[in-house]
Chain A
Amino acid sequence: MASEQQEQWGTRLGVILAVAGSAVGLGNFLRFPGQAAANGGGAFLIPYFCALIFLGIPIGWAEWTMGRYGGKKGLHSAPGVLGVIGGGSAWRYLGVIGAMIPLAVSFYYVFLESWTVAYFLKYLTGGVAIDGAAAIADQTAASNALYASITGSAQDGVLFTQNQFTLLCWVLVFGINVVLLYRGLSKGIERFCSFAMPVMAICAVGVLIRVLTLGTPDPAAPDQNVVNGLGYMWNPNFEKLTDSNTWLAAAGQIFFSISVGFGIILNYSSYMKPKDDVVLSSLTSAATNELFEVGFGGMITLTASFVFLGLAGTIGAVQTGSFSLGFVTLPVVFASMGPAGTIVGAVWFFMLFLAAITSSLSMYQPAIAFLKEALGMSHKKATSWMVLLGTIGSVLTIWFTQGGAFWSTMDFWVGTFLIFVMSMIQIIAFAWVFGIDRGWKEMHSGSALQLPPLFKFVMKYVTPLYLLIIFVMWLKQNLVSALQAAFSNTGSMVAVLMIPVMVVALMLLIRTGERRWRAQGLDIDNKIPADG
């Protein structure tokens, strides 16, 4: 516990880049453009920015503030921080969700991360084998075959028994994560993100410049040019704004993109100094995420696809989903670029790898903090236990690959459903239980930015209501089909059964931790306010 209390971010910029690294992930480059194109193009940006201002950024401010407050009490895990903010055991036990989400999401996220490395290595070694001179249908078939081979989507166990390349990539990726985590918060995560984020930005700028200078590569198809490609993404269809699904999609994109509701920011911000700014830092992290999402994701992916595959090909790619767009369609696009496509492909997948690893690191750290805090473990011992848990979870993910059932089920129930729940818990805890006046004062303690008082009203009323409406709409749209899918095959059933097992195990740890913290004399129920 003593060493945990001493752990702190090295610099102001370090924590911002670490949180931004957590937020910028595969969804920025793959999910956002698909969502925008399918939901009104440029018109989608209106509900998207509304959700950013009234949902994403306010929850982020609340989460940063609560985390820093919990850190003042010597607590760094979601259960510990929420127990302090809520002032009692009930909130501590609700915090189990924030302890579970990052760990459970890491089980499958690192597997997805290993795909990016697999593709990157394939590009470096010339193993992609998509013939750019062949018919588009043949190229797509070759790309689909590569995707199935890397993801093991045809059959459970195939990545262990037949094609171990992805497994080796997972070992490599997991190993890098573990080494960085053993090095600790400042020397591992902060240092790596301070290097990875600028490199990712350089890669994104490089790919963007290449895409925007493609011109009209096929003179026989003059309509397939960069300007029309941008038009496919950005031309507004304002009629879509009358469709509630557009607003739901926009809020969902913001919500899952800026990393709120995971319990990660609670943990990261708990390592800040008591008077460190949270308002500007939180806003800067969100702004970084938006730069990657709108500024790069919105300009690169669909434009490149349109230029080489045309309107029909790009519409088809969007309809097949984010992963298919990134891992099946784009390799066909890169093949069409000729020899330069190999370099662009390698840079693209390296950039996706950096986006993924800065996110996966942030998923392991809260679990390590929780183990240290609840069981009094040293950093090395807690990291070793996390390695064991992460290995078990990832092995299950890599075994049950058929149709992506295991990881997509986990992604629905933990990576989506529980994130809604956790966000609601956090904004209620901040604005209603801790109190908006007190929360506002705490948020502005040491702040480099004074917010307009309007946001007090937004955080107390607008954000919870907005969140509730979106959650109900989302449940109405997805719950029945998700319940049916949950028991459709072995992989999804294992994923569903793991969730209550993890909840019970983590609750037992919270109970143990509670006893330890009380015995240590920590003010875990916030009897002595530590307000700024």
Chain B
Amino acid sequence: MTTGGWAIMLISLAGVWGLALWCYRRVLTLPADDS
């Protein structure tokens, strides 16, 4: 595995995990459904 391969893999994984966790954190901390 090349340095470029490691870099792209880690950035991609951090990106998709980070986005998913951030989104779920936002969703789960929204006020309860009341509309």
| Residues on the B chain within 8 Å of A13, using CB | 27-28
Residues of B near A281 (CB, < 8 A) are 27
Q: Are A274 and B35 CB-contacts (below 8 A) given A287-B20, A291-B17? A: yes
Q: Which of A11, A274, A277 has the most CB of B within 10 A?
A: A277
Contact, CB under 8 Å: A12 / B27: yes
Nearest chain B CB to A72 CB, angstrom units = 12
CA distance A275 to B34 in the complex (A): 9
Nearest residue (CB) in A for B4 is: A236
Q: Is the CB of A234 within 8 A of B17?
A: no
Query: Taking the complex as formed, is A433 at the interface, i.e. its CB lies under 8 A from any CB of chain B?
Result: no
A128 to chain B, nearest CB (A): 31
Partner of A235, one of B1, B13, B30: B1
A231 sits at the interface (CB 8 A): yes
Residues of B within 8 A of A287 (CB): 16, 19-20, 22-23
Q: Which of B6, B12, B24, B26 contacts A294 (CB 8 A)?
A: B12
Residue of A nearest to B33 (CB): A12
Task: List residues of chain B with CB within 8 A of the CB of A231.
Answer: 1-2, 5
Are A284 and B1 also in contact (CB < 8 A) when A230-B9, A274-B35 are? no
Report A-chain residues with C-beta under 8 Å of the C-beta of B4.
Answer: 42, 235-236
Q: Which residues between 225 and 241 of chain A lie within 8 Å of chain B, taking CB atoms?
A: 227-228, 230-231, 233-236
B23:A295 contact, CB within 8 angstroms: no
Number of A-B contacts (CB under 8 A): 90
Contacting pair B35 A446 (CB below 8 A): yes
Minimum CB–CB distance for B3 against chain A, Å: 10
Question: In the bound complex, how far is the Cα of B16 from the Cα of A294, in angstroms?
Answer: 7
A43 to B28: give the CA distance in the assembly, Å. Answer: 34
Chain A contact residue count (CB 8 A cutoff): 38
* Least distance between B29 CB and chain A CB atoms (Å): 10
With a cutoff of 8 Å between Cβ atoms, the chain A residues found around residue B9 in the complex are 42, 230, 233-234, 298
Q: Contacts of A425 on B, CB cut-off 8 Å?
A: none
Q: Which residues of A contact B2 (CB under 8 A)?
A: 231, 235-236
Q: A230 contacts which of B5, B7, B23, B26 (Cβ < 8 Å)? A: B5
* Most chain B Cβ neighbours within 10 Å, of A43, A235, A293: A235
The answer on a CB contact under 8 Å between B26 and A295 is: no
Residue pair A236, B35 in contact (C-beta under 8 Å) = no
> Contact at B26–A449, with CB atoms within 8 Å?
yes
Docked complex Cα distance between A230 and B35 (Å)? 47
Q: In the complex where A45-B8, A288-B20, A298-B12 touch, is A276 in contact with B35 (Cβ < 8 A)?
A: yes
Beyond A42-B5, A273-B33, A274-B35, is A280–B20 a contact (Cβ under 8 Å)? no
Residues of B bordering A, CB below 8 Å: 1-2, 4-9, 12-13, 15-17, 19-20, 22-24, 26-28, 30, 33, 35
- Could you list 20 further interchain pairs (A-B, Cβ under 8 angstroms) beyond the known A11-B33, A274-B35, A284-B24? A12-B33, A42-B9, A43-B8, A49-B12, A49-B15, A230-B5, A235-B2, A236-B5, A236-B8, A275-B35, A276-B35, A280-B30, A283-B23, A287-B16, A287-B19, A288-B23, A290-B16, A294-B15, A298-B9, A299-B13
